[in-house]
A and B are shown apart, each in its own frame.
Chain A
Amino acid sequence: MKIDRRSFLGLGLGAAAGVTLSPMPWKLTDDSSIWSQNWPWTPVPNDGEITFEDTICTLCPGNCGISVKKVDGRAIKIEGKKGYPVNDGGICLHGISGLQYLYDPSRVQFPMVKSGDTWKQVSWDEAVALVAGKVKELRQKGMAESLACVSATDKGSVAGLYKRLLTSVGSQNFYTLETMEKSWEMLISRIHGLKAFASFDLANSDYVISFGAGFIEGWGSPVTNFIANSSRKERKAKLVQVEYRLSNTAASADTWLPAKPGTEADLALGICSAIISGNLYNAEFIKNAKDFEAFAKFVNEKYAPELVSRTTGIDASKIKAVASEFAKAKSPLAIAGRGKGESAGSLMEFAAVHALNCLTGNINKAGGFWTVERQDTLTWSSLEMDDSATKSYAKSPIGAVDSLVSGVSGSADAGVFSSVVSAVSNQVVTSASLTKLFEVINASEKSPVELLMVYNANPCFTLHNTKAVKAAVNKIPFVVSFSSYMDDTAQLADVILPSHTFLEMSQDIQSGASLAQNITAFSKPVAGPVFDTKHPGDAVIAIAKAVEGTVASSFPWENYQECLESIIGDSFATLSEEGYIASEFTPPAAPIVVDFSIFAGFKGITPLEGEAKSYPLTLMPIDTIRLASATFASSPFAVKTVEDTVLLENDTVIEINPETADKVGVSDGDYALITTPVGEAKVRVNLFDGIMPDVVAIPEGLGHTISGIGQVLRKDGTALTGKKGATSIITVTGGTSKNIGPLENRYIGGKGVNVNDLIGSVVDPASGLDAAWGIRARISKA
């Protein structure tokens, strides 16, 4: 057939018509849309049988009961456990995000040893042998005291095992973090002569004055406090919040007293004065108190409401009104303690606040302040120490500080107070201070610590003046991290023995902070292990065994499980069956003593670092429940909820009053340079009416470093690559890896600045703890 133009066109048109009328285009259209509904890169979760398993969340000291929902054995959701005494079904956003911690590909996936910039995978046996080898070496050299360990707390059997390892080797250098719990404990021992921790029955108190405690920012046991706070409406209970800023707690309070930061103790004493001069105190309770007359004279002379009104900025009439309401309430409660960083806080602030509780006598009663004896539910078998260990153990801890109050009562103002009180032991307590430890290391030419173990703590992020802390850690020849994550401290370690996450391990739990009940709980593994991690207890036991000798024989258990069963003893069966044992507090049999002599020489709380002339503003760290500031780094979910007035792209956003902004010449959204005596940072500005002029608030929980992670090589020599989404692929240019590693958590890492880069530590002479509660600062437009 001859193809001319005509037939060509005809054919073409015919073909087009044919194709159009055939089912083909329709089928293709349909198929392509079906394909778009089943894109292979959009995951399709597998279905299966639904089950629930209960355990305890240990992301924060709240220790809520949680139910893990599983599908076909796969953990898919965390919910609050109904009926659990801490949280009764409620749960905070971090707990719900637990699975993001579990399945996080930026976890430390196997034991690794650092050489240069590179991490190399080793087997658990090799890792344990390496650490044990170092310990043995130190023992042989008679330098066992140069072994140190940092752990968040000393509560529970896992921390107990670490402490036991140190003791059996011959070191007293076991450090815990400095928290408000410690301050309360010291205060209770000083004022009441008891060895107990503080608890607060918020849920039953009808009138609470809180001096900055952020009940809904995450203070104490967060969910317990949320529940107590929201039941206020029904209970007709009042909350008075003393805070320089309209925090969420202040906003939810019935009365907000914006006292100038640092004058909270003054305000507390002002209220004491009003109560005393109005004869509103509980005379019956106070009648045997030591030095009450002196205290009364002292506050009436120096802290009368009119005087206090000048320093705090709160009207005298308001102070008197609050004093009268407080004193007349059925179960009034005064609370101190901002739980941040070194905010073990100024002990004298705690004392001033607690004086209010003493005046009402609402102590060890429903709705009141409780002194709770530490329940030692664990019975450890005695451990063996050979000569070398005994000799080393005799040496006092590195960075030991003298704490408590003896120095104070001898001071010039002590005149009106009697000197020593019989019921209360006023001896000097010497203890190991973590802050001091790092100071000592930095001050020594050669680090007195040869080997540092870090368990369940991230001091390079959470301690004040992180630059100094990091310098100290870098000076320590051998650092062992037990972290599950490449956190700020693990990045500086020489070897990492990664622990299970809380969802992968069993452990005993003592609920503490601000709970009006004793709860011992037992958490059990509900998932994983996802990676080649180990139970931290098993890791210690393995190390101890490898150290051999009396150290090994002090750890007679096959594994952690066996250890736990033996040290928990009788209650193990109940615990593993019921999950927890709760008991109401019982008041101590003996009447409680009160000693006011602590106020001799009271000169206010620890001052801010920096002089007002060059640093006219006060910088205060603030917390939002949505950012985990101590307990882990925040999860992707949590970071997602953070407002853009806190974190904007990679910048921390500070909060200032519009008036302050005018003064320093910045406007909303501007970049600003913030400078303190310790450091400086570029941040962005958010104007907020609810913050006091001349104060700068900066959010906690940001500024996790990820830049120091380096390369990770598997045993077979292949590089661990960054995971899609979570982390970026290592790019090797010219043979050297860029500073982008595979274990970077890009969801929180590298975002914003760490407050603790800007704040230095200030040792409280009364407690020996780091009491810095802010710092002086200036800002300028950047």
Chain B
Amino acid sequence: MTQDNHGKAYKFGMVIDLDKCTGCGSCMVACMSENNVPFKEDETNKKDSITWMKVFKLTNGKPFPDTDICYMPRPCMHCGGKGDHGHSPCVSVCPATATDYGYDTGIVSQIYTRCFGCRYCMGACPYHARYFNWWDPKWPDGMEEYLSPSVSPRMRGVVEKCSFCYHRYQAARDRAYHEERRDNIEEGEYQTACTQACPAGAITFGDLNNPEHEVSKLVKPDTHQCGKPRNPKAFRLLERLQTNPKVYYISEREWVRKAGDNYRDGEWEKSK
């Protein structure tokens, strides 16, 4: 299934089936391992713990035995921003253009060597997808051996976040060019590390602009409404803020879909 992307931009996105996600954390570790994410002796302060992919635990708030829980993996949403024009909450505020929107891929980049650590972008992101290197990254002696050359380790004082494993996109694109397929990357050629690792198969990744891709089939994004899902079981986190994420969630459970956004009393019932 080769797609024709001549002159057409990709819009990479992710769909996460919350009914399949087991909260196992493989995606978190796959990401840390793929992207040279550092770690500290004590990581129990979760507000100071770099996890490009973070799995939130949601509960329905009901007492025993009506309690229910749901795990919600949260990478960077690669927001298209208002009107889906690429003015992501974070990109639009970065004073030094250290984070940028890729119009050819829809991926929100982060340039560590340009970032000067003002953290404005962190304040702008409602998903807490951005992390600051409060500490010098340090690996126990000898453990630097496993660091990947595809992703540069970050220095203290800069912000980092999920890149949709951009280096994997680059590798796939390079291969495609090399094989004279121009920039026609096939669905399977570019998959993120978390997608690949998820043992529950809860994550799907692909091009939202390509109706043949599984992601498009799963959520049926409405291009006239900035990619809003047409699948009634699918939703995006904080849809109402018009951040226009490219990460979608699917759940059969109504309370889970409701937890994806904020609703005033009675609003949810009306919106259904």
Q: Measuring CB to CB, which residues of chain A are less than 8 angstroms from any residue of chain B? A: 36-37, 39, 41-48, 71, 74-80, 87, 89-93, 96-97, 99-100, 102-106, 216, 222-223, 226-227, 229-231, 233, 246, 248, 251-252, 256, 258, 530, 625-626, 636-644, 647-650, 657-659, 688-693, 723-727, 746-747
Contact = CB atoms under 8 A, between A and B. Distances in A.
A726 B39 CA distance: 10
Centre residue among B36, B146, B199 by max chain A CB count within 10 A: B199
A363 B193 CA distance: 39
Contacts of A724: 138, 140-141
A230 B149 contact: no
A30 B264 CA distance: 52
Nearest to B56: A643
Contacts of B51: 640-641
B14 interface: no
Contacts of A100: 143, 146
Nearest to B34: A77
A230 B200 contact: yes
Nearest to A225: B199
Given A99-B146, A229-B200, A625-B24, A725 B29 contact: no
Nearest to A721: B141
Contacts of B269: none
B254 interface: no
B97 interface: no
B33 interface: yes
Contact of A92 (B138, B157, B199): B199
Contact of A48 (B19, B22, B65, B149): B149
A43 B147 contact: yes
Contacts of B22: 216, 226, 229-230, 248, 252, 625
B68 A644 contact: no
Given A90-B197, A103-B146, 5 more contacts: A37-B155, A42-B136, A87-B199, A640-B51, A642-B43
A723 B140 contact: yes
Contact of B199 (A80, A104, A256, A746): A80
A45 B65 CA distance: 51
A43 B144 CA distance: 7
A251 B70 contact: yes
Closest 3 A-B residue pairs measured CB to CB?
A: A726-B140, A90-B199, A690-B67
A106 to B, nearest CB: 7
A100 B139 CA distance: 10
B25 A690 contact: no
B113 A37 contact: yes
B262 to A, nearest CB: 22
B29 A690 contact: no
Contact of A233 (B20, B25, B146): B20
Given A74-B145, A690-B59, A93 B70 contact: no
Interface string B166-194: 00000000000000000000000000000
Contact of A746 (B41, B46, B146): B41
A725 B148 contact: no
A718 B160 CA distance: 41
Contacts of A79: 30, 196-197
A45 B144 contact: yes
Nearest to B61: A689
Contacts of A92: 24, 26, 199
A690 B42 CA distance: 27
B141 A725 contact: yes
B152 interface: yes
Contacts of B44: 642, 644, 647-649
Contacts of A649: 42, 44
Contacts of B154: 42
Interface residues of B, number: 65
Main secondary structure of the interface of B (DSSP, over half): loop
A519 to B, nearest CB: 17
B143 A45 contact: no
Contacts of A91: 26, 30, 197, 199
Contacts of B113: 37
11 contacts: A74-B146, A76-B146, A90-B26, A91-B26, A102-B146, A216-B24, A230-B20, A625-B23, A648-B44, A649-B44, A689-B64
B25 A726 contact: no
Contacts of B153: 42-45
B67 A644 contact: no
A522 to B, nearest CB: 23
Contacts of B118: none
Interface of B: 17, 19-20, 22-26, 28-30, 32-34, 36, 39, 41-46, 49, 51, 55, 57, 59, 61-65, 67-71, 113, 136-149, 152-157, 196-202
A621 to B, nearest CB: 19
B64 A105 contact: no
Given A87-B199, A230-B22, A690-B59, A725 B140 contact: yes
B57 A643 contact: yes
B19 A727 contact: no
A726 B76 CA distance: 29
Contacts of B147: 43, 45, 76
A227 B36 contact: no
Contacts of B201: 90, 227, 230-231
B196 A97 contact: no
B29 A42 contact: no
A726 B200 contact: no
A246 B62 CA distance: 12
B241 to A, nearest CB: 26
A251 B69 contact: yes
Given A106-B140, A638-B25, A689 B67 contact: yes
Given A226-B199, A649-B42, A649-B44, A42 B155 contact: yes
A658 B67 CA distance: 13
A102 B33 CA distance: 14
Contact of A258 (B45, B64, B142, B199): B64
B25 A626 contact: yes
Contacts of A106: 140
Centre residue among B26, B61, B67 by max chain A CB count within 10 A: B26
A71 B143 contact: no
B33 A97 contact: yes
Given A105-B140, A638-B25, A90 B152 contact: no
Contacts of B145: 74-75, 99, 103
A689 B63 CA distance: 5
Contacts of B43: 639-640, 642
A81 to B, nearest CB: 11
A644 B138 CA distance: 22
A251 B41 CA distance: 31
A658 B63 CA distance: 9
Contact of B68 (A76, A78, A231, A251): A251
A45 B67 CA distance: 47
Nearest to A530: B142
Contacts of A641: 25, 28-29, 51, 55
A690 B199 contact: no
A103 B33 contact: no
A747 B26 contact: no
Nearest to B157: A36
A239 B87 CA distance: 45
Contact of B30 (A41, A96, A99, A625): A96
B72 to A, nearest CB: 13
A80 B25 contact: no
A77 B148 contact: yes
A104 B143 CA distance: 6
Contacts of A747: 39, 41
Nearest to B29: A93
Centre residue among A223, A233, A647, A726 by max chain B CB count within 10 A: A726
Contact of B32 (A39, A233, A640): A640
B29 A637 contact: yes
Given A79-B196, A229-B200, A723 B25 contact: no
Nearest to A528: B145
Contacts of A691: 64
Contacts of A97: 29, 33
